[in-house]
Amino acid sequence: MTGGHRRILVVEDDPETAGQLVDSLTTSGYQVDLATTGNEALSRGVASDYAVITIDRMLPDIDGITVMRQLRDDGIAAPVLIVSALGEVDDRVRGLRAGGDDYLVKPFSFVELLARVEALGRRSDTIVKETVLRVGDLAIDLMSRTASRHGKAIQLFPKEFQLLEYLVRNEGRVVSRAMLLQHVWDLHFDPSTNIIDVYVGRVRRKVDGQQAYPLIHTVRGIGYCLRAPG
């Protein structure tokens, strides 16, 4: 993440939620602006250049979706994370179709929110051009869809490779189980079992088993993080 572009606009009308959001984002090193109404969001949105904008669906004056459309019409390209208590799938699809980049259902954990904001923020400032990604001694070839550690090939099923690729692309950032389901399996619901953990467990055995150091780390209560030591 490049410095100087860690400014976030939070659009949220509930004072307590807004306070918690601002606190946790500030603690993570972001510079946070808060808008409590749709109109305020519109004026702030065009006035500054934000890395990420989070918008609540239910605002006192204008609907969050309308705010987002208006911002897009005004040429604001910053990624938008829609935050809503309206969690059902149709609603989610409507939000994404209207120009949202990600969708988070209330109630959510702040770690999950941070993970998603991180992922969105990176999307806006880094474009990966290489076809081979490296983390420590792990290399994954996006063209041949193969992975290796210390030059030794790792046998992966297609979905396992996708999962590893997603972790590598988010190197150093926490990735939640829901994000994995969404990006690797295109599933927008929680199968409410430990199925993801078991799956990641197998990938981890293939990637980290009998290696000098582990790359895939469990982050308690949220998900996983892939990073090289040091």
Partner 1 sequence: MLLAKTLKSSTFKLALIAIGTFGVIVSAIFSYVYLSTSAYVRGRSDRAIMTEYLSLQGAYERSGRDGLAALIQQRIADRSFAGNVYLLVDPSLAPLAGNLEAWPSTAAAARGWTEFRAAEQPPGAANRPLLRAMLETFPNGERLLVGSDIGDLDRFTDRIKIAVILGIALIFVLAGVASILVTRRTVGRIESINATSRAIMFSGLDKRIPLRGTHDEWDRVAENLNLMLDRIETLMGEVKQVSDNVAHDLRTPLTRMRGRLEKAYHGPRIDADDQSLIGDTIADLDAVLRIFSSLTRIAQIEAQARKGAFRTVNLVEITSEVVELYDAAAEQDGTRLTIIGDSEVLVSGDRDLIFDAIANLVDNAIKHGRAGGEVVVANETIDGQPVVSIADDGPGIPIDQCEHVFKRFYRLEQSRYTPGNGLGLSLVAAVARLHGARIELLDNAPGLKLRLWFAVPTG
In the DSSP assignment, the letter for residue 9 is: E
* Residues whose CB falls within 8 Å of the CB of residue 29, separated by 6 or more in sequence, listed in order: 6
The Cα diameter of the chain in Å comes to: 58
Q: Which of residues 103-132 bind partner 1 (CB under 8 A)?
A: 105, 107, 109
Work out which of 90, 97, 155, 230 binds partner 1, going by CB under 8 A: 90
At 83, give phi and psi (nearest 5°).
Answer: -115, 125
Does 16 contact partner 1 by CB under 8 A?
Answer: no
Q: Which of residues 123-182 bind partner 1 (CB under 8 A)?
A: 157, 159
Residues in binding contact with partner 1, number by CB under 8 A = 26
Work out which of 46, 128, 132, 187 binds partner 1, going by CB under 8 A: 187
| R_g over Cα of the chain | 19
Q: Please state the closest distance from residue 42 (CB atom) to partner 1, in A.
A: 31
Which amino acid is located at 228 in the chain?
A
Q: Is 220 helix (H, G, I), strand (E, B) or coil?
A: coil
Residue number, 121 or 223, with CB nearest to partner 1: 223
Q: Please state the closest distance from residue 220 (CB atom) to partner 1, in A.
A: 8
Q: Is 116 helix (H, G, I), strand (E, B) or coil?
A: helix
User: Could you list the residues that contact partner 1 (CB under 8 A)?
Assistant: 87-90, 93, 105, 107, 109, 157, 159, 185, 187-195, 198-199, 201-202, 220-221
